[in-house]
Amino acid sequence: MPLMNRLLQLLLLLFIIQPLCAQKANILQGELVSKKFVETIPFEWVKNKVIIEVDVAGVKRKFFVDSGAPFAISQDLQNQLNFPVLTQKQLSDVNQNKEMIDFVTVSDVRLGGVHLKDIPAMVIKEQSPVLACFGIDGFIGSSLMHHLIVQIDLENKQMTMTDKLKKLGLRRKRA
């Protein structure tokens, strides 16, 4: 009987742990709805930062383009659009200050004519000085950009996006 009790305890433990493991969010989800496209949009060059206009579920706001960051939206935008929470994560900074951060599923994102849907995004808390300083509502980061091939033309202040590398017309010597 003790062996049977141990097996039941082990099974019960597995059933308790399994849902906790399933709560981990994969931020590289979502879908690129647009197909066979080349889209060029203008951007602002402010203090060495690329800023573009983004349509998030019908609301137009300005975002940084930062391939080193995840896709992120402001708390203000989240409060306005109320996207469903995918998960919460405790993050800590270099000073070991800890904070719970929401990750939400953004139903609809449009970069010019490029349409993406169900993209996970980190919600940036209101007190972010970066958002306030630049007047932006988030970051177009790697968790969204992995769906796209992007070329940035600083001279003409344009960002070109496509789903096929050949469509950019790059020459080997200059690429």
Strands 158-162 and 38-42: antiparallel
Both structure tokens of 22: 């399933």
State residue 175's pLDDT score.
52
> What are 174's strand-pairing partners?
none
pLDDT at 173: 62
The answer to whether the beta carbons of residues 100 and 88 sit under 8 Å apart is: yes
Structure tokens at 106: 């953004």
C-alpha distance from residue 42 to each of 45, 63, 97, 166 (Å): 10, 13, 37, 21
pLDDT tens, position by position, for the chain (175 residues)? 454 444 444 443 334 434 434 444 567 788 899 999 999 999 999 999 999 999 999 999 999 999 888 999 999 999 999 999 998 888 777 778 788 889 999 999 999 999 999 999 999 987 778 888 889 999 999 889 999 999 999 999 999 999 988 777 777 665 5
What does pTM read for this prediction?
A: 0.79
Given this model, what pLDDT does residue 108 score? 96
Residue closest to 119 by CA, chosen among 70, 164, 75: 70
Residue 14 has what pLDDT? 39
Nearest to 110, CA basis, from 36, 33, 172: 33
The CA-atom distances, in angstroms, between 140 and each of 2, 111, 151 are 56, 10, 14
pLDDT in the model for residue 172: 67
Which CATH architecture fits 27-168?
Answer: Beta Barrel (2.40)
